[in-house]
């Protein structure tokens, strides 16, 4: 007699879902740069913590911090000035020729200012590189950009050939990335733990990873040199890892449209202060059997952008049935250079904008509080209604406060911030679309063909983004209670799809077996199965 699973045609939809779709919450999180910046990029956190740092190293850190801050502040003032004028012109719907000309001039000026600000960082980059080349003295390692041989990408990130839409390809690749996350992250975490071990030395690391004694240039050198202190106040740490979240599906689909193979869905930034330790970490990654090095970009000679080592490695996919190698990204930076890169990102976002509407998300991505350059005056609702998800988190927070569960409370507050932001994004979408359509009508009246074409594209993007955000919110509900979603779907698939999204994309990564999902004591489920 056929099993229940074989009889139920609906279960076939779940056959490929096991451990594939990523945690939706990760896709909804938008990093608040100020919070992350203060936590992760603060080079000096107090005078009482830097007594062990050499004066020269402290001077280098302070100089980079002061000079990058000066450039960021100057650009912020410029952005504010033009942003205000930009909004005034947009309120007029750009009806006359003078306004149109000034409107385009502001856009060009902002791009020019961003390019100039990037150029101002180049002397700081050169100063940093000079510091790392000479600060160790004659008995220590001199940063040599030539110690790494470049290697072009030897493998491709392959997608399912049956998928044609960029959004489908993005979802497929993100699922694979989620399934492979541990296989990529665990070896990196072990390497970082070994490097930060209190008993680590050049000799011990060489023997463990390279199966040899260190060369004369490293033999006998102190593993923790006071000239190269990664984090003042924490003398044990010589490397810090920062794993990036899985890419946002909307951003991933956009990159696919541009021809990207998304080799950075799984990625990590490794931050060092001692160039000798950076070199050894590269050698260990190169030698490990858990990765296959498939691309090396040696950017240590760069002067137009912060120098780094950019690697791609191949790991075996964690997706059942997917036998191709999975490509991940590793970037290796020296600490002060990473600070410069962080500062330069806001300039990059503005300078690369293709039109005046493309300058957006600056506040989320940049190191200074620059306002988002919106395409027009958007009248936002005075209050954003809370979703069921937000209300549930608020209830959980109240319970955690009663129980005085501080770790849980901290976690829930982070979830609440994400949920409220999602509520705001969903609430803002119709207003944004309506405003863009209003501007499109005005553009038709003015007969500006270029503006009409841009606005039509923006309306389509905004409508697609609205649907995607709502879909992500629906999918998040299956993470909260997958069994309830299954029950409702078996009763009424259309109604369940309205609430949870299409069953193909449900988040079942925590389900360990089909029996767990469908075999439980519930008369309704047994009846429908």
- Number of domains comprising the chain: 2
Q: For residue 135, is it within any domain?
A: yes
Q: For residue 255, is it within any domain?
A: yes
Which of 365, 392, 423 terminates a domain? The answer is: 365
Residue 45's H or E segment, with its range, is none
CA distance to 285, 290, 372, 492, 496, per residue, from 187 (Å) = 9, 7, 39, 45, 40
Asked whether 79 and 347 are in contact (CB, 8 A), the reply is no
One domain, residues 416 and 289: no
CA 32 to chain centre: 11
pLDDT, position 163: 72
For residue 271, the cross-strand partners are 240, 333
Q: For residue 107, is it within any domain?
A: yes
Q: For residue 49, is it within any domain?
A: yes
Q: For residue 371, is it within any domain?
A: no
CA distance to 43, 288, 334, per residue, from 229 (Å) = 10, 26, 11
For residue 311, the cross-strand partners are 296, 330
One domain, residues 258 and 323: yes
Q: For residue 373, is it within any domain?
A: no
pLDDT, position 479: 58
- CATH number of the structural domain spanning residue 297: 3.30.460.10
- Residue 285 in tokens: 């990654």
Among the listed residues 336, 297, 401, 448, the one whose alpha carbon sits nearest the alpha carbon of residue 63 = 336
Domain that holds residue 161: 24-365
One domain, residues 239 and 326: yes
One domain, residues 508 and 394: yes
Residue with tokens 């501007």: 439
Among the listed residues 423, 393, 425, the one whose alpha carbon sits nearest the alpha carbon of residue 411 = 393
Asked whether 303 and 31 are in contact (CB, 8 A), the reply is no
Nearest-angstrom CA–CA distance, 311 and 296? 5
pLDDT tens readout for residues 181-220: 889 999 999 999 999 999 999 999 999 999 888 887 777 7
Structural Rg of the chain based on CA atoms: 26
One domain, residues 324 and 429: no
One domain, residues 169 and 213: yes
Asked whether 281 and 332 are in contact (CB, 8 A), the reply is yes
One domain, residues 414 and 309: no
Which of 365, 399, 432 terminates a domain? The answer is: 365
One domain, residues 160 and 199: yes
One domain, residues 397 and 354: no
- Residue 227 in tokens: 């000239």
Which of 365, 387, 409 terminates a domain? The answer is: 365
pLDDT, position 116: 86
Q: Sort 452 into a burial class: Cβ within 10 Å, 0-12 / 13-18 / 19+.
A: middle
CA distance to 5, 31, 117, 309, per residue, from 306 (Å) = 56, 22, 14, 10
Q: Within the chain, which residues score under 70 in pLDDT? A: 1-62, 65, 76, 79-81, 83-97, 99-100, 103, 135-146, 160-162, 232-235, 318-323, 352-384, 445-450, 453, 468, 471-483, 502-529
CA distance to 95, 148, 315, 329, per residue, from 293 (Å) = 56, 13, 9, 10
Q: How wide is the angle at C-alpha 104 spanned by C-alphas 99 and 107, nearest 5°?
A: 125
pLDDT, position 465: 73
Alpha helices, H only, 31-143: 33-40, 55-91, 97-134
Among the listed residues 509, 517, 523, the one whose alpha carbon sits nearest the alpha carbon of residue 17 = 509
One domain, residues 89 and 11: no
Asked whether 130 and 142 are in contact (CB, 8 A), the reply is no
Q: How wide is the angle at C-alpha 374 spanned by C-alphas 368 and 380, nearest 5°?
A: 105
pTM, rounded to two decimals: 0.56
Q: For residue 452, is it within any domain?
A: yes
One domain, residues 435 and 382: yes
For residue 325, the cross-strand partners are 316
Q: For residue 311, is it within any domain?
A: yes
pLDDT, position 321: 63
pLDDT, position 529: 30
Asked whether 255 and 217 are in contact (CB, 8 A), the reply is no
CA distance to 266, 307, 312, per residue, from 331 (Å) = 11, 10, 9
> What residues contact residue 310 under an 8 Å CB cut-off, 6+ apart?
295, 296, 297, 299, 329, 330, 331, 332
Residue with tokens 């750009």: 94
Among the listed residues 423, 371, 368, 372, the one whose alpha carbon sits nearest the alpha carbon of residue 393 = 423
Residue 403's Cβ-side half-sphere holds a number of Cα atoms within 13 Å equal to 11
Pairing of strands 325-334, 292-298: unpaired
- Residue 421 in tokens: 């932001």
> Is 309 strand, coil or helix?
strand
- Residue 340 in tokens: 């410069």
Nearest-angstrom CA–CA distance, 82 and 94? 16
One domain, residues 385 and 353: no
Nearest-angstrom CA–CA distance, 400 and 408? 7
CA distance to 10, 34, 393, 464, 500, per residue, from 529 (Å) = 9, 51, 33, 36, 20
């Amino acid at each position: 007699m056929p099993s229940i699973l074989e009889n139920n045609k609906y279960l076939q939809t779940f056959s490929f879902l096991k451990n594939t779709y990523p945690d939706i919450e990760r896709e909804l999180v938008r990093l608040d740069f100020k919070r992350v910046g203060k936590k992760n990029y603060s080079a000096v956190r107090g005078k009482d913590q830097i007594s062990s740092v050499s004066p020269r190293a402290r001077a280098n850190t302070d100089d980079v911090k002061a000079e990058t801050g000066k450039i960021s502040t100057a650009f912020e003032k410029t952005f504010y000035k033009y942003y205000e004028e930009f909004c005034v012109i947009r309120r007029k719907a750009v009806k006359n020729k003078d306004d149109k000309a000034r409107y385009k001039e502001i856009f060009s000026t902002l791009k020019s200012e961003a390019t100039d600000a990037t150029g101002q960082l180049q002397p700081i980059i050169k100063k940093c590189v000079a510091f790392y080349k000479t600060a160790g003295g004659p008995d220590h390692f001199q940063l040599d950009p030539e110690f790494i041989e470049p290697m072009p990408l030897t493998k491709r990130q392959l997608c399912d050939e049956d998928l044609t839409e960029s959004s489908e390809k993005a979802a497929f690749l993100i699922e694979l990335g989620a399934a492979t996350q541990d296989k990529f992250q665990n070896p990196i975490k072990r390497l970082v733990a070994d490097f930060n071990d209190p008993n680590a030395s050049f000799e011990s690391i060489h023997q463990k990873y390279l199966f040899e004694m260190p060369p004369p240039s490293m033999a006998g050198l102190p593993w923790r040199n006071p000239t190269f202190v990664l984090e003042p106040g924490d003398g044990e740490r010589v490397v810090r890892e920062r794993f990036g979240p899985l890419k946002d599906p909307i951003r991933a689909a956009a990159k696919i449209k541009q021809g990207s193979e998304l080799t950075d869905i799984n990625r990590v930034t490794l931050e060092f202060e001692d160039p000798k330790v950076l070199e050894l970490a590269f050698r260990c990654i190169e030698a490990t059997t858990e990765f296959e090095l498939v691309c090396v970009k040696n950017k240590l000679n760069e002067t137009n952008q912060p120098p780094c080592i950019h690697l791609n490695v191949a790991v075996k996919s964690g997706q059942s049935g997917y036998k191709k190698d999975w490509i991940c990204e590793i970037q290796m930076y020296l600490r002060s250079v990473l600070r410069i890169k962080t500062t330069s990102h806001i300039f990059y976002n503005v300078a690369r904008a293709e039109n005046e509407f493309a300058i957006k998300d600056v506040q989320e991505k940049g190191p200074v509080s620059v306002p988002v350059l919106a395409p027009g005056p958007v009248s936002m609702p005075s209050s954003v209604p809370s979703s069921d998800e937000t209300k549930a988190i608020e209830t959980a927070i109240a319970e955690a406060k009663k129980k005085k569960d501080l770790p849980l409370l901290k976690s829930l507050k982070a979830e609440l911030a994400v949920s409220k932001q999602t509520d705001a994004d969903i609430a803002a979408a119709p207003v944004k679309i309506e405003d863009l359509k209003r501007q499109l009508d005005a553009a038709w009246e003015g007969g500006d063909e270029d503006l009409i074409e841009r606005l039509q594209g923006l309306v389509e993007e905004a409508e697609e983004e609205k649907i995607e955000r709502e879909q992500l919110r629906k999918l998040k509900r299956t993470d909260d209670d997958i069994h309830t979603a299954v029950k409702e779907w078996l009763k009424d698939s259309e109604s369940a799809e309205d609430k949870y999204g299409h069953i193909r994309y449900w988040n079942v990564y925590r389900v360990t077996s089909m029996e767990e999902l469908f075999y439980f004591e519930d008369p309704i489920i047994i009846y429908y199965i």
